[in-house]
Structure 1
Amino acid sequence: MKITVAIPIYNAARHLNVTLDSLINQTMDSREFEVICVNDVSTDNSIDVVKTYMEKVNNIKLINRKENSGGPMLPRNDAINEAKGEYILFLDNDDFIGEEALEKFYTSAKECKSDVIFGKYVGANGRGVPQSMFKYGNLKNADILKHNLVFSLAPHKMFKVDFIKQNNFYFDKKAVVGEDQLFVMQCLVKANVITVLSDYEYYYVVKRGDENLSLKYFPANNFFYSFNHIMETIEESGLSSLYKLKLKAAFLNRFLHASRLRGHIFSNLLTYEQKKDWLNETKKFIDNHVTDELIGLLPSRFHYFLLIARENDLRKLLMVHNQMETVNPNKVTRVENGWIYSNFKYTQKYLAYDEEYTVNHLNTSDIYIDGIILGEDLCEITGQFYQSLLINMNVENELILVHRKTGIEKRINYNEANSSNQFKFTFNYREFVLNKEMVGPWDVFIEGSIGGYVKRRRLGKARKTDLLENVSEDNKGIMPKLSQSNKEKFLPKKEIMLDNINSFGENYIVKAYFTKKHDNLSFDVKLKP
């Protein structure tokens, strides 16, 4: 048997036919895979639906649990124990898969010797699904960090059964929240080969109106059970120390962003006493797993939360959280080691503090082109680069030309504009027309930096509407260094060709243009025939 498909079922009669139809229509021969439906004491006619399909095909098996388990964990474990397949795929009772999914999964798994394999997710009925790990194309052996696998901890994947059983990886019955994340993280950390397929729409994740578990209340200690064990799994693994640290940071970033923790503490879902209980458990989690070094690897929007939660001071946390909405340039105290710091003050009889917290996440930016002049030898680009929290800071702006194919960068660091919020760069095309290896598109960015903090923006989309007009008599001489053999040229609506640019004895043609998809400025370098 090649594959076991495991489906925990609870009151799914309305949706189950779509799930099972996607299985009986697989291109894989039905004799090569089995479907194990584990009924978790449904109170509707889910069993009848399954039995109807069992009359049509002979590869569907039904397991009826005697007691409801309260979640999909134990039914999935039942399927693992009963699995006859070399691999097991977990499928929810209201999702479905593409017709070629099983065949493609198995072929790739055998070819790559995969322990874990999963394919492109597709959201159905308005469901959002992770996509960043699929932008790399098919990956025979993906890396958890490099390929963003930490953002795909749902169990809708295929696992080698021997790999699961030899490592005793089962869904923890004590985990009422995040049980799938714990199981999948254990597998990802231990797996020798993780395969990701992006060439086909494999798994359709369906949104249902009653699936939002975030509306249910769980005691804080139950909530943290899985996440404590995930951090322990990473720490106790055989991974290198630096990889462990970065993996913890990646998971913690996901956890703080996507979990209900901050939502519970900052919303009206809980009473004040319940919030104190949640903050107390949060402090325990931080004390056990989150170091200052780890906090430094996280986005600034989580810094104040973790630092104050470690103090276990709910009143202060709520107050600082509200004050985050009032941060402005006048409250920025310094920019150091890549962090923008703002001062937070409050003085009352029973709560007082005067401290700094990082606020990088509150710094917004905008970029605008006032003018682009193309001459025979030189190009001039002028505009504005605004950063909301740094208007009182001496930000240094650079123009960055990036070779699209190699990623090589050419920096133009002399800004002729007087203000840090403005820029004026003049450069010779031979700054980036170097040799035959550097032909192809060069994309244009403006980068502002101060105290190790760097903000980079793509240049071109936001620009002056009359930028496309020809240069007037009043504007002649704006670039005295330009060759006068030809008139200065403003960039036209689509593109302009610059001919006979010489570099190291070779002649090149440069085409300045706005990219079709995103309408940004680029230069395309070609060797002149």
Structure 2
Amino acid sequence: MTAPTVSVIIAAYNSMPYLTRCVSSAVEQSIGRENLEVIVVDDGSTDGTAAELERLSSLHPGLLQVVRQVNSGGPSAPRNVGLDRARGRFVFFLDADDYLGPEALERMVRAAEQNGTDIVLGRMVGVGGRGAPTSMFRRSQPRTDVFSSRVYWTLNPMKLFRRDLLERHGLRFPTDLTIGEDQLFVGAAYLKASGISVVADYDCLFWVLRDDGANITRRTSSSEVRMRFLPRVVDMVLENTSPGPGRDHLAHRHLTVDVWELLADQWVFEPRGIQQKMLAQLSEAVEPLWHEGMNERLSAMARLRLHLIRHRMLDELLKVVEFEKEISRSKAATPVVVDEGRAYAHYPYLRDPARAIPDSCYDVTAQLGTRHHVTRAELSEAVLHLAGHAYLHRVETRSVTTELILRERDTAVEYRLPVTHTATPGLGAEADEGRFTYDLAGFEAAVDITTAADGGPLGDGLWDLYLSVGAQGISKEVRIGAKRAEGVSARPSTYLVDVDGVLRSLTLYATKPYGNFTLDLGERKHKVLPRLSLDGIGWAAGAPTELEITGRCALDGYPDGALKVVLDDDRGGTVSFVTRQAADGRFVVRVPVRELAVGVWGGELRIGSWALPLPQVPRSLPPAKWRRRALPWYAEPVRDAGDRFALLVARAGLVRGLAGPGT
């Protein structure tokens, strides 16, 4: 019998009515039944699970295998039984509450085979209010690992595994754990895998919150039971990694997510004796992972938690956990204390002399957010006008030092320019329940590109716009433009400006997809010539000896008289004619041909150093005729000029050879 491509393994315990949708989503996968086997292990269910599995088995003979066993008390044993029976090149573990997107397995297998990877994560979607992990699914990743991505932040087993990986390393779920068993299995598989793929452009797994809240991961409430897995996970990390940034990356997950879940769950309700016992165990467990060099990776709250755990400060830890729960419920931002250019969160026991907790446990300077809003961003010839407001979240706008930064994208050359600080009374009253005010957060700036480079003109390049937002000795940079008033246009606006007698192209535009503002100086992304077009040549109405040339200029501005038609003849003569602007960028040029010297004239539309050749004079255009000093003259198209502009001006009776053969 040919081995299937994928074995789907479902551990089921009292899984009705969710089981029906789960199994149906597996057997109906687009990868095809011939490439599938579905193994459901009923772990001693007492509801209608057994009967439903019998019904489903009769509907899908040869595809659905059902195994029944006495209840094992957790998901490990049924998953292991399924894994022992699996024959597929790949296995996918699916909880009986959840279900797959129709193309999930096909897409994940393709990712594994194309990239030679051992594990594939498919994007997860929460259903019924269940929160699904998101940080690792921001983009698809053909090939990555646990040290250079966020995949380690999801340690549930609902992933595609190459079965050979699991068999070579003898990986099975530990049956002595009823919670956290998946972390030991998946963590070890991650660390031994030859590459991991992430499919983020398709909803592969739907993660369901049961109406009765009885998901497998939620059954166990005893904090002592929950505590058992963490020391073993720590040992797994220590055994499979060396000290350094890689280990710290994995430790970050356990020191934040797992520690918080252990503290915030049943532990706070346990008798004091159990709390003390668990705190001692937790202190011993985290000690090998946490060192001072990791502090920049950790939030201030995580640092405070770990400090209290390390020093086994039970009462303080209980208060901090309750404080954190409260701010999570209220979604309220914690006030900060600013001192000598650093910001410290007003968490419990800040600078309490009786506890002597280091300031570093409260330092949120790196975590402060910047908030900005642009109310004006426009060019007026060579001057960029900006206005809006910007502030550091939770830091009052005293001793404000905000500056505008122009930074060239490729070279990182930058110029810092002053802004005018303006009053913003009442700003902040509608956010954070009004507990912070920012009365001097406004800014205005007028940047002349002819003097912005320390008194000289800016060079060509893409100049991204930043604010260095500063107050009370703290400053942080932010790109500006993504947050702007409705009337502030994101449409590129291009001007030709006079810099030391030379016209230069200047475009203000908003980048995609984020909408931040950039100045394009020198046509790096926005070309001038495509904004010029010519659409008509003919004799002017009521003026039969004036050649009328029409077109459109989509530039937003340029010096008066800069846009012109320039004609040159075959004898070295040159004349120019300035355009007359009309509405919507339209322009017209009148060329009085009776003033042209005898000869064949070519021409172009010119503005500064940019030139657009004039199109061919229509061959159907009749000659223009006039008299000069009583002698007959005429102007007509040159018939064999191809697609170039060529106009013959001559006196009637002169040798037609002036225009070459065929005229």
SS of corresponding position for 1:526: coil
- CA distance in structure 1 between the aligned counterparts of 2:258 and 2:240, rounded to whole angstroms: 20
Counterpart residue type for residue 63 of structure 1:
V
SS of corresponding position for 1:153: coil
Shift in Å at residue 240 of structure 1? Answer: 6.8
Q: 1:341-394: CA deviations, max 9, x gaps?
A: 7682447xxx65575332418845532446545332122324433225443775
Change (3 A) 1:321 1:74: closer
2:496 to 472, 497, 500: 500
Q: 1:304-335: CA deviations, max 9, x gaps?
A: 11112211112233456678879645x43344
Counterpart residue type for residue 125 of structure 2:
V
SS of corresponding position for 1:527: coil
Q: Tell me the equivalent position of 2:402.
A: 397
- CA distance in structure 2 between the aligned counterparts of 1:450 and 1:358, rounded to whole angstroms: 19
SS of corresponding position for 1:121: strand
- CA distance in structure 2 between the aligned counterparts of 1:462 and 1:103, rounded to whole angstroms: 40
Change (3 A) 1:454 1:263: farther
Change (3 A) 1:249 1:408: farther
Q: Tell me the equivalent position of 2:339.
A: 333
Which structure carries more relative contact order (alpha carbon 8 Å, separation 6+)? 1
1:415 to 410, 418, 427: 418
Change (3 A) 1:55 1:327: closer
Q: Tell me the equivalent position of 2:206.
A: 204
Q: Tell me the equivalent position of 2:284.
A: 284
Contact 1:386 1:421 survives alignment (8 Å)? yes
Shift in Å at residue 232 of structure 1? Answer: 2.2
**1:412-451 matched pairs, under 5 angstroms:** 412-417=415-420, 421=441, 423-429=443-449, 434-435=459-460, 438=461, 444-448=465-469
- CA distance in structure 2 between the aligned counterparts of 1:264 and 1:410, rounded to whole angstroms: 55
Change (3 A) 1:188 1:502: farther
- CA distance in structure 1 between the aligned counterparts of 2:499 and 2:96, rounded to whole angstroms: 64
Equivalent residue pairs, number: 485
Q: TM-score, normalised by structure 1?
A: 0.79
State whether structure 2 residue 121 is matched by structure 1 residue 118: yes
Counterpart residue type for residue 332 of structure 1:
V
Shift in Å at residue 297 of structure 1? Answer: 2.3
Q: Tell me the equivalent position of 2:180.
A: 178
State whether structure 2 residue 38 is matched by structure 1 residue 42: no
Contact 2:496 2:506 survives alignment (8 Å)? yes
Q: 1:114-148: CA deviations, max 9, x gaps?
A: 211122222333433223323222x2212324331
Counterpart residue type for residue 505 of structure 2:
Y
**1:105-144 matched pairs, under 5 angstroms:** 105-137=108-140, 139-144=141-146
- CA distance in structure 2 between the aligned counterparts of 1:118 and 1:355, rounded to whole angstroms: 40
- CA distance in structure 2 between the aligned counterparts of 1:423 and 1:392, rounded to whole angstroms: 12
Q: 1:410-454: CA deviations, max 9, x gaps?
A: 64423344698554444345879855xx56xx7644233689976
- CA distance in structure 1 between the aligned counterparts of 2:40 and 2:287, rounded to whole angstroms: 42
Q: Structure 1 stretch 200-209 or stretch 317-326: which is displaced more?
A: 317-326
Contact 1:429 1:501 survives alignment (8 Å)? no
Contact 2:10 2:40 survives alignment (8 Å)? yes
- CA distance in structure 1 between the aligned counterparts of 2:321 and 2:29, rounded to whole angstroms: 51
- CA distance in structure 2 between the aligned counterparts of 1:134 and 1:368, rounded to whole angstroms: 29
Q: Tell me the equivalent position of 1:483.
A: none
Change (3 A) 1:22 1:323: closer
SS of corresponding position for 2:279: helix
**1:6-45 matched pairs, under 5 angstroms:** 6-45=9-48
- CA distance in structure 2 between the aligned counterparts of 1:214 and 1:260, rounded to whole angstroms: 13
Shift in Å at residue 37 of structure 1? Answer: 0.8
Counterpart residue type for residue 67 of structure 2:
I
- CA distance in structure 2 between the aligned counterparts of 1:3 and 1:503, rounded to whole angstroms: 67
1:375 to 375, 380, 386: 380
1:218 to 211, 215, 222: 222
Change (3 A) 1:318 1:29: closer
Counterpart residue type for residue 493 of structure 2:
M
SS of corresponding position for 2:87: coil
Q: Tell me the equivalent position of 1:65.
A: 69
- CA distance in structure 1 between the aligned counterparts of 2:414 and 2:139, rounded to whole angstroms: 28
Q: Which has the higher helix share?
A: 1
Q: TM-score, normalised by structure 2?
A: 0.64
Structure 1 unaligned segments of length 5 or more: list them. 469-491
Contact 2:77 2:173 survives alignment (8 Å)? yes
Q: Tell me the equivalent position of 1:151.
A: 153
Change (3 A) 1:359 1:327: farther
Shift in Å at residue 176 of structure 1? Answer: 2.7
SS of corresponding position for 1:414: strand
- CA distance in structure 2 between the aligned counterparts of 1:126 and 1:323, rounded to whole angstroms: 24
Shift in Å at residue 396 of structure 1? Answer: 4.7
Shift in Å at residue 511 of structure 1? Answer: 3.6
**1:453-492 matched pairs, under 5 angstroms:** 455-460=476-481
- CA distance in structure 1 between the aligned counterparts of 2:127 and 2:323, rounded to whole angstroms: 39
- CA distance in structure 2 between the aligned counterparts of 1:327 and 1:102, rounded to whole angstroms: 45
**Quick one: percent identity of the two aligned structures?**
21
Change (3 A) 1:509 1:355: closer
Q: Tell me the equivalent position of 2:77.
A: 74
Change (3 A) 1:157 1:244: same
Shift in Å at residue 291 of structure 1? Answer: 1.8
Q: Name the Cα RMSD after superposition.
A: 3.7
- CA distance in structure 2 between the aligned counterparts of 1:81 and 1:459, rounded to whole angstroms: 56
* Structure ID, larger Rg: 2
State whether structure 2 residue 428 is matched by structure 1 residue 387: no
- CA distance in structure 2 between the aligned counterparts of 1:136 and 1:90, rounded to whole angstroms: 23
Q: Tell me the equivalent position of 1:344.
A: 350
Counterpart residue type for residue 311 of structure 2:
E
Q: Structure 1 stretch 104-113 or stretch 202-211: which is displaced more?
A: 104-113
Structure 2 unaligned segments of length 5 or more: list them. 328-332, 423-439, 530-663
State whether structure 2 residue 104 is matched by structure 1 residue 101: yes
